[in-house]
Amino acid sequence: MPFIVCKFGGSSLAAGDRFLRVRDIIRSDPSRRAIVVSAPGRRDAKDEKITDLLIRYFETGDEALWRAAETRFLEIGETIGADAAPLLQETREAILRKSSAAFAAGRGEYLSARLLARLLGFRFVDAMDCVRFTEGGTLDRAATRREMLHCLCGEPFVLPGFYGADAARRAFVFPRGGGDITGALVAANLGADVYENWTDVDGVYDRDPAVDPRARRQRRLTYDQMESLAAAGANVLHPDSLRPAREESIPVHVRSSFLPRASGTWIT
């Protein structure tokens, strides 16, 4: 059976009904056994991303920001039939105790992964245990590879994207949008047949479809072409996520969780 690593972005997990849609996508193909997730993103233009709420909560201590994040997760829990309240209380206490901006920023991914793992019946693996940063906060690729091979083989799992830790378990995060990098590292280190990157657009366009009606979806791109589009501002994939996939020649398939039958864009 082929082995597919899936990364679901924040818009794909922004609310409880979207978690259910993601569950259905994963269950529709038993090859999808390695799942990497973002924190819930915006449900609509007026909404805030959970990551932004958590960063501001850490910076200001404003409890209204925590309550806004909590309300989002309680709704997700309720929709998927899980009581998220104890997990939320534990998480808030951990944020206050650890007093680390990076730790707080990554808690949206942590909660997303805990809830999705419960919904799927997959095991949860904490990125603190397998995405390794140096003391200076840069990615340690060799140690990450070693830890991923140790922690991620075997049963299907859900792993939070975006954060990791150094050897002393101090949290670090990738740049914003960096859940894609975690997904690509998993795909490269575990030798996936495909790295599926699920987002809210049905593929990569040659220009921004939101502003230019002449934009056309690209069915296939080379890694080089995708790098040029990313450098020119196409933000569908984090630019740093291409390198690990490219080095191991792993095909990247950009797809929309809102249109799961659409053919998306293949980057090879």
Task: Report residue 107 CA to chain centroid gap.
Answer: 12
> Are 34 and 156 in contact, with CB atoms under 8 Å apart?
yes
The answer to whether residue 192 forms part of the interface with ligand ASP (CB under 6 A) is no
The answer to whether residue 161 forms part of the interface with ligand ASP (CB under 6 A) is yes
The answer to whether residue 40 forms part of the interface with ligand ASP (CB under 6 A) is no
**Whose CB is nearest to ligand ASP?**
179
Strands (E), 107-247: 123-124, 157-160, 163-165, 171-173, 194-199, 204-205, 217-218, 220-221
State in angstroms the smallest separation of the CB of 108 from ligand ASP: 6
Q: Who contacts 144 (Cβ-Cβ below 8 Å, separation ≥6)?
A: 130, 131, 132, 164, 185, 189
Q: Helix/strand/coil (H, E, C) string of 9-27? A: CHHHHCCHHHHHHHHHHHH
> Are 187 and 179 in contact, with CB atoms under 8 Å apart?
no
Count the residues of the shown chain that bind ligand ASP, applying the rule CB under 6 A. Answer: 13
The answer to whether residue 176 forms part of the interface with ligand ASP (CB under 6 A) is yes
> Can you tell me which residue has the tokens 């140690």?
143
Q: Who contacts 21 (Cβ-Cβ below 8 Å, separation ≥6)?
A: 12, 257, 258, 260
The answer to whether residue 179 forms part of the interface with ligand ASP (CB under 6 A) is yes
* Residue selected from 162, 172, 195, 205 as contacting ligand ASP according to rule CB under 6 A: 162
Determine the interface stretch with ligand ASP among 16-24, 57-65, 127-135, 174-182 (rule: CB under 6 A). 174-182
State in angstroms the smallest separation of the CB of 216 from ligand ASP: 26
* Residue selected from 177, 203, 244, 264 as contacting ligand ASP according to rule CB under 6 A: 177
87-126 residues near ligand ASP, rule: CB under 6 A: 108
The answer to whether residue 160 forms part of the interface with ligand ASP (CB under 6 A) is no
Task: Give the alpha-carbon dihedral of 202, 251, 143, 167, to 10 degrees.
Answer: 0
Which of 18/49 has CB closer to ligand ASP? 49
The answer to whether residue 76 forms part of the interface with ligand ASP (CB under 6 A) is no
The answer to whether residue 267 forms part of the interface with ligand ASP (CB under 6 A) is no
Give the interface with ligand ASP as residue ranges (CB under 6 A).
Answer: 9-10, 38-39, 49, 51, 108, 161-162, 176-179
